[in-house]
A and B are shown apart, each in its own frame.
Chain A
């Protein structure tokens, strides 16, 4: 094969995806293209790059200026009430006013903590992660009501409606990626002039950024063919391509597995052949009159075991928010079981099940380890069949691969035996995520899970005894499920919390591919279609029996509260270890046992709860308190109400429940003025709301230097009240012992003196 350097290709992972490890599809595509003659393939992870840039001192300073202009706190000073619709803006204004300065000063160090050896110290890790979360809220406030979190990106525009998506790509005030692409991505692309730009769109959160970049590329580089693929587009892509205006952002979409269609597309474009023969492609025909979408025949999947080693070269492997590189690697594609009635993953990857041989997997893993120095692997799989559960660890041990890995798994009682799980642990397996779904046998039957609760628990216990951490996927709101059944599921999970370390709880959703959508009568459902939502993925439904959608959402919150109260990894801010993909795993990868990690989590929470008053307690220099005309607590309490979904898109689906805005406004009403103070401490990265008396006492502590200086001369009830207040501030992270104060702020002392307590 003659290398072809005259046909530059750029593959982009658009924002927003996880920032802790690279996404696998692009390295797989690059390797396949290179193996077939296209050797000039550039990889761009615009998601982690955007996070890295947004979470920087300069960007946060810019965001703070924008917030001060667009959401000034003074705007609320003389208001007699705040309506439900105004609460999110008030909250953003209040939190930004209190936290901006400290966040600007500390954000770069917080990234350094996550990427360096300080990651392993819980007392440094948790405030650093918290700082990044708050920093993203500040950044988001500058683009209000847009929200960028470590897990999601949403705007006021619905991703269920094509005209909303297209409008969002042009709204620079609220879409931060317009400026990001223009300043940081486009110049390099214009210089490079790729012939093909491909984007991997896995999540709904990537749709608007991907379409934004597509539009900008098509304007700047009219000769560049802009294509996209990935899981999310596999669901909605055909509808999307039929909508007017999409041709301004895209030239084609690739469905299902990307390797063969992308190669065929590049070959066709290079040779000038018609795109009509490229399998699995839907493309815009601009040859005559108005642009129109043409749907080609399906494509043929590749022979997975012959696919080349994924090529990660060019990805910013040092930029991921992790102290250690975790590489994803796909051991198989599709699901060998393929029966679950709620599952539509075949839509993502295409029909059929294919696997690599254990020998191939281990050879690749060893090569990746040598090439990148990576010892930690995320094996991407829907589930491993029983044969592979035996063969893979044997081969890893035979080759002395010395890696640590985690993956999804299906309950296979005959494979996850005591001996089998011990062998898995010996091969480096440290965490498995099983589809548990529910503790109700009747529902397991309806789901066609092919597993029993007893089998599931036995597998989990075997894993736990072997030292493998167990995560369960659980579901609430499956058709006909009752509240009592959902509560029985959480009872089961809590009862077995010494075996089940994490629970990924999801609410039931209906997409157009699922059996529940195709045959709703089998589940007692009536699907609610809204023609205005022309690129909708998930559909509302009415259930004849069992919980309604709203009730399921309420149960979700109830179940999650119980999990937080009973799972040590979910308690308090230990939840960060669950929420940051792979961060808990990295501790396990150092051969820390799950029991030991859980004990550390408990010990940390218990130690903090015991903190009390001490004469040497003092504020950090990055403590800031702002007065508020309305209560921040009251605001966030209303925003946390299930009905508040109406003003924010649902997290998992990105959907707005639009017809409930009015209902929420009626039910939740307004809030009245209440003068309060919001404090933010840069050391602990904690917010707390105080009464104005509390603010003044805190100011007095700061002025005198320590709590002790105020306690002098106090006695009786007055002293006790002051000690209680000081102890509470200590527990909440607003006062610190001298040795507990960090010195990571980059602010100058003189600047601090003018603006903080």
Chain B
């Protein structure tokens, strides 16, 4: 999958408490949310099984 960019400004110093709009899913009932406005990007973690980590030599 192609990761999508976060729509939120990235923190540049230490993390701050979530901004009000970031807490929207918490604050609102799921029925009232507009999911199109949320950052629903997902990154898969799979590079750890790179075949470069195998050793088939076994004499």
Chain A residues contacting B51 (CB-CB under 8 Å) are 505, 560, 563-564, 570, 575, 578-579
Q: Is A686 an interface residue (CB 8 A)?
A: yes
Partner of B54, one of A77, A578, A704: A578
Write the nearest CB–CB distance from B1 to chain A, whole angstroms.
6
A578-B54, A697-B40 in contact; A348/B49 too (CB < 8 A)? no
Write the nearest CB–CB distance from A490 to chain B, whole angstroms.
13
Complex Cα distance, B47 from A640, in Å, reads 8
Partner of A149, one of B15, B25, B53: B53
Complex Cα distance, B59 from A471, in Å, reads 16
Closest to A557 in B: B52
Complex Cα distance, B10 from A648, in Å, reads 29
Write the nearest CB–CB distance from B27 to chain A, whole angstroms.
10
Chain B residues contacting A728 (CB-CB under 8 Å) are 1, 40, 42
List which B32-57 residues lie within 8 A (CB) of chain A.
33-56
A576 touches B42 (CB 8 A): no
Q: What 1/0 flags go to A625-636 for Cβ under 8 Å of B?
A: 000010011001
B15 touches A675 (CB 8 A): yes
B15 touches A694 (CB 8 A): no
Chain A residues contacting B49 (CB-CB under 8 Å) are 130, 133, 573, 575-576, 579
Write the nearest CB–CB distance from A714 to chain B, whole angstroms.
7
A382-B59, A560-B50, A672-B11 in contact; A632/B45 too (CB < 8 A)? yes
A80-B13, A504-B56 in contact; A697/B45 too (CB < 8 A)? no
Q: What 1/0 flags go to B11-35 for Cβ under 8 Å of A?
A: 1111100100010111000110111
Complex Cα distance, B13 from A79, in Å, reads 8
Complex Cα distance, B14 from A402, in Å, reads 67
B15 touches A673 (CB 8 A): yes
Complex Cα distance, B45 from A202, in Å, reads 32
A349 touches B43 (CB 8 A): no
Closest to B13 in A: A80
How many residues of A are in contact with the other chain, CB < 8 A? 81
B40 touches A724 (CB 8 A): yes
Size class of the B contact interface (CB-based, 8 Å): 35 or more
Q: Is A283 an interface residue (CB 8 A)?
A: no
A573-B49, A651-B53, A691-B6 in contact; A686/B44 too (CB < 8 A)? yes
Write the nearest CB–CB distance from B6 to chain A, whole angstroms.
6
Partner of A718, one of B11, B22, B34, B48: B34
Chain A residues contacting B35 (CB-CB under 8 Å) are 697, 714, 718-719, 721-722, 725
Chain B residues contacting A675 (CB-CB under 8 Å) are 11, 15, 18
B46 touches A573 (CB 8 A): yes
A380 touches B52 (CB 8 A): no
Chain A residues contacting B15 (CB-CB under 8 Å) are 77-78, 629, 673, 675
A693 touches B11 (CB 8 A): no
Chain B residues contacting A719 (CB-CB under 8 Å) are 35
Closest to B54 in A: A579
A687 touches B45 (CB 8 A): yes
A691 touches B40 (CB 8 A): yes
Q: Is A690 an interface residue (CB 8 A)?
A: yes
Complex Cα distance, B42 from A415, in Å, reads 52
Partner of B55, one of A570, A652, A673, A713: A652
B45 touches A689 (CB 8 A): yes
Q: What 1/0 flags go to A438-472 for Cβ under 8 Å of B?
A: 00000000000000000000000000000000010
Chain B residues contacting A757 (CB-CB under 8 Å) are none
Q: Is A62 an interface residue (CB 8 A)?
A: no
B38 touches A721 (CB 8 A): yes
Chain B residues contacting A564 (CB-CB under 8 Å) are 51
Closest to A129 in B: B49
Closest to B47 in A: A640
Q: Is A737 an interface residue (CB 8 A)?
A: no
Chain B residues contacting A694 (CB-CB under 8 Å) are 38-42
Write the nearest CB–CB distance from A42 to chain B, whole angstroms.
23
B25 touches A693 (CB 8 A): yes
B41 touches A581 (CB 8 A): no
A349 touches B41 (CB 8 A): no
Q: What 1/0 flags go to A526-551 for Cβ under 8 Å of B?
A: 00000000000000000000000000
Write the nearest CB–CB distance from A617 to chain B, whole angstroms.
14
A133-B48, A718-B34 in contact; A202/B39 too (CB < 8 A)? no
Chain B residues contacting A693 (CB-CB under 8 Å) are 22, 24-25, 38-40
Q: Is A692 an interface residue (CB 8 A)?
A: yes
Q: Is A269 an interface residue (CB 8 A)?
A: no
Q: Is A399 an interface residue (CB 8 A)?
A: no
Partner of B53, one of A151, A504, A673: A151
Chain B residues contacting A152 (CB-CB under 8 Å) are 53, 55
Complex Cα distance, B59 from A348, in Å, reads 9
Complex Cα distance, B45 from A649, in Å, reads 22
Give residues in B with beta carbon < 8 Å to A: 1, 3, 6, 8, 10-15, 18, 22, 24-26, 30-31, 33-56, 58-59
Known: A651-B52, A672-B11. 6 other contacts (CB 8 A): A133-B48, A203-B55, A349-B59, A673-B13, A718-B35, A732-B1
7 A-B pairs (CB sep. < 8 Å):
A575-B51, A578-B51, A579-B49, A672-B11, A686-B44, A693-B40, A717-B36
User: 9 nearest interchain CB pairs?
Assistant: A696-B25, A687-B45, A691-B39, A693-B38, A717-B36, A721-B35, A725-B40, A633-B43, A689-B43
